[in-house]
Structure 1
Amino acid sequence: MAEYATPDPEWVPIAATLPPQFDRNIEPAVLQEEWITVTQPFLAQVNKPLLPDDSKYRVEDHQVPVEGGEIPVRVVIPNSGDAAATYPLIVWMHGGGWALGDIHQDDFLLRILSFELQATIVNVGYRPAPQYPFPTGLNDSYAAVKWAASNADKLSASVSKGFIVGGQSAGGNFSAVIAHRAHADPFFQDKPLTGQHLSVPATLRYEAYPEKYKSELRSWEDNKDAHVLNAESMRYFFKHYQAPADDPEMSPALYPSHAGLPPAHFQVCGLDPLRDEGLLYERLLREADTPTRLDVYPGVPHAFQIAAPQIALASKFRNDTFSGFRWLLAGDHCV
C-alpha cells in the first residue's frame, strides 16, 4: 500500500512538533486524566462553533443496567417541530484504546451529527479497561444497543428507518463485533441492524495474523513508529484490555463467516498501524456480499483529525463521516 504511505504535505510540519513514541510506563489512570482534561476539551473547542442552535435538538441522559451495575448513555434527539416525528437510530461507541474517554468525548460531534442526519443518537459510556477488562466494555455496549432498540419509541426513534452501530478505533472494534453478535441473536430478528460505521477500527491483532494474509498485512511494521498511534501504544492498550488475540470478539476478521452482516462504512488512515487490517476486513465483508464503502486518507496517522483539524484531509474525514452515515441510511433496508 505504498500509495497510502507518502506523508501528506500538510501533515509533515505538524508531525515534526509531535513526540513519535508512546510512554508505555504511564499508568492508565494518569493517561485517562490527561485525556479528559486536555484532549476532550480540545475536541469540544473544535466542534462547539459548529453546533446547531439548542432548539434544533434535545439531550437526555439515562442509566442502562448492565452486569454488575449501570452505565450512562447520552441521547441526542432532533427537534423537527413535529412532536410525533420518529428518526433513525444510531448507537455510538467512543474510541480511546478501550481504556480512555467517556460520553463527553464525542458529545458535540454527535449533536451536530444528530441534527445533520435527523437521527436519534445514543452515546454509550461503557466501562473502561484496565479496571474493567475484556469483555466488559463490549458487553456494556451490546447491552446499550439492546436497550436503545427496546426503548426506541421513547427516544423518538424507529429502527425501520435505520438502525446503525458505529464508532472510532476501539468503538469501531466494538461496532464490528456487535454486528456479528446481533446477526446471531434472536433478539434482533424483528429489528436487525441496518448498518455499521467502522472508523479506523481495530479488527485483527498482529499476534493472530493468519498465515494466508500476512503478506498483505504490512502496516503494523511499516507504521510501527507512527505519530499519534504506533506499535508500542497499541501493545500498551492490548495489555490493559486483556483480550485474547485470537478471539473473534477481539479480532473480528477471524470470524469463520461474515455472511449476512449489515452494510459497512470504513475509514482507514495511511500511516496507521491498523491500516491493513481495516482494508482486509473491508474486503472480507465485500467478498461475503456485504455492501461496503471505503474512504482512505493517505499520508496521515490514526486520529489525525484530532491532532490536525485544520488540514484539508481532516475536513474530508469529517465530511466522509457524515456522508458515510447518509449512505448507510439510504439503503433499501431503511424506509
Structure 2
Amino acid sequence: MTEYGSPDPEWAPIAATLPAQFDTSAEATVVQEQWITVTQPLLARNSKPLLPDDSKYRVEDHKVSVEGGEITVRVVIPNSGDAGETYPLVVWMHGGGWVLGDVNQDDFFLRLLSVELQATVVNVDYRLAPQFPFPTGLNDSYTAVKWAATNADKLSASIAKGFIVGGQSAGGNLTAVIAHRAHVDPFFQDKPLTGQHLSIPVTLHYEAYPEKYMCLLRSWEENKDAKILDTDSMRWFYKQYQGPADGPETSPALYPSHAGLPPAHIQVCGLDPLRDEGLLYERLLREAGTPTRLDIYPGVPHAFQMAAPRIALASKFLNDAFSGFRWLLAGGK
C-alpha cells in the first residue's frame, strides 16, 4: 500500500509545523484536560469559517439515561421553513481514541452536515475511558441510537427517509460495532439502520491481526511515526480503553460474518497507521455482500482535515463525506 504514502505537497509544509505527539507517559486526565482547553478550541477556530448561517438550523441538547448515569446528545435540526417537515436521521459518534473529546468536538461539522443533507443529526457525548472503560462508551452510544430511533418524531426526523450511524476514528469503531449489534437486535427489526459512515475507522487491534491478512496490514509499521496519530499514541488509547484485542466489539473486522449489514461509506488516509485495517474492513464488507463506497486520501495522515481544513485534499475529504452520506440515503446505489 506504499502507493498511498508519498506526502501530499500541500500537507508537507504544514506537517513540519505541528507540535510533537502528546506524552504517552502522562496520566489520561492530563491529556484530556489539554485536549479540551487547547486542541478543541484550535479545531473550532479552523472549522468556524465553514459554519452555515445559524438561521438554517436549530440546536437542542437532550439528556439520555444510560446504565449508571446519563449522557448528553446534541441534536441539529434543519430549518426548512415548514414546521411539519421531517428529515432523515443521522446519529454520530466523535473520535478521540475513546479517551478524548466531547459533544463540542465535531459540533461545527455536524451543523454543516445537517444543513447540507437536510437531515436531523444526533451528536453523542458518550462517556470516556479510562474513567469509563470498555464497553461503557459503546453501550452509551448504542443506547443513544435507540433513543434517537424511539424519539425520531420529536426530533423532526423520519426513519423512513433514512437512518444512518456514523463516526470518525474511534467513533468509526463504535459505528461499525453498532451496525453489527443492530443487525441482530429485535429492537431494530421495524426500524433498521440504512447506512453506516466510517471515517478513518479503528477496525482491528494491532495485537489481533489474523495471520492470513498479515501481508495486507503494513501501515502499522510503515506509518508508525506518522503525524497526528502514531502507533505509540494508538497503543496508549487501546490501553486506556481496555477492550479485548481479539474481541469483535474492539476489533469489528473479527466478526465471523459481515453479511446483512447496511451499506457503508469508508474514508481512509494514506499516512495513517490505521489505513490498511480500514481497507481490509471495506474488503470484508464488500465480499460479504454489503454495498461499499471507499475514498482514499494519499499522502496525508489520520484526521489531517481537522489540522489543515483549507488544503485541497481536506476540501475533497469534506465533499466526499457529504457525497457518501447522500449515497447512503439513496440506499447505497
Tell me if TM exceeds 0.5.
yes
Query: What is the TM-score when the length of structure 1 is the normalising length?
Result: 0.97
Partner of 2:32: 32
Within 5 A, what are the aligned runs for 1:2-21?
2-19=2-19, 21=21
Q: CA deviation at 1:34?
A: 1.3
Q: Is the 8 A contact 1:170 1:201 kept in 2?
A: yes
2:145 is equivalent to residue 145 of structure 1: yes
Gaps of 5+ in 1: none
Find out whether 1:307 has 2:307 as its counterpart: yes
Give 1:191's aligned residue.
191
1:332 deviates by 7.2
Query: What are the superposed Cα offsets for residues 226-249 of structure 1, whole Å, 9 maximum, x if unpaired?
Result: 111011000000000000000000
Report the Cα offset of residue 311 of structure 1.
1.3
Name the CA shift for 1:332/1:283 in 2 (closer, same or farther; >3 Å).
Answer: closer
C-alpha distance in 1 between matches for 2:325 and 2:183: 20
The percent identity for this pair of structures is 80
* Residue pairs, 1:228-243, within 5 angstroms: 228-243=228-243
Tell me if structure 2 keeps the 8 A contact 1:21–1:225: no
- For 1:332 and 1:288, the matched residues in 2 are separated by 15
Q: Spell out the pairing of 1:12-91 with structure 2 (5 A cutoff).
A: 12-19=12-19, 21-91=21-91
Moved more, 249-258 or 16-25: 16-25
Q: Which amino acid aligns with 2:286?
A: R
Q: Which amino acid aligns with 2:308?
A: A
Q: When the two structures are superposed, what TM-score results if normalisation uses the length of structure 2?
A: 0.98
- Counterpart amino acid of 1:68? G
1:98-151: CA deviations, max 9, x gaps?
000000111111111101100000000000000000000000000000000000
In the alignment, the residues of structure 1 paired with residue 168 and residue 313 of structure 2 have an alpha-carbon distance, to the nearest angstrom, of 17
Shift of 1:255: 0.2
Q: 1:105 to 1:332 in 2, by over 3 A?
A: closer
| Equivalent residues, number | 333
Q: Which residue in the other structure is 2:107 paired with? A: 107
Q: Is the 8 A contact 1:20 1:225 kept in 2?
A: no
The answer for the alignment partner of 2:117 in structure 1 is 117
Report 1:284-323 matches (<5 A).
Answer: 284-323=284-323
Q: Which amino acid aligns with 1:109?
A: F
> Deviation per CA, 1:160-216, whole angstroms, max 9, x where unpaired?
100000010000000000000000000000000000000000000110001100111
Gaps of at least 5 residues in structure 2 are: none
Moved more, 41-50 or 119-128: 41-50
Aligned residue in 2 for 1:162 = 162
1:260 and 2:260 are equivalent in the alignment: yes
Give how far 1:32 is off.
1.2
Instruction: Please identify, of 308-317 and 43-52, the stretch whose mean Cα deviation from structure 2 is larger.
Output: 43-52
State how far apart, in whole Å, the 2-side matches of 1:187 and 1:82 are: 31
Which segments of structure 1 move beyond 3 Å, counting only runs of 4 or more?
19-22
Amino acid in the other structure paired with 2:277: E
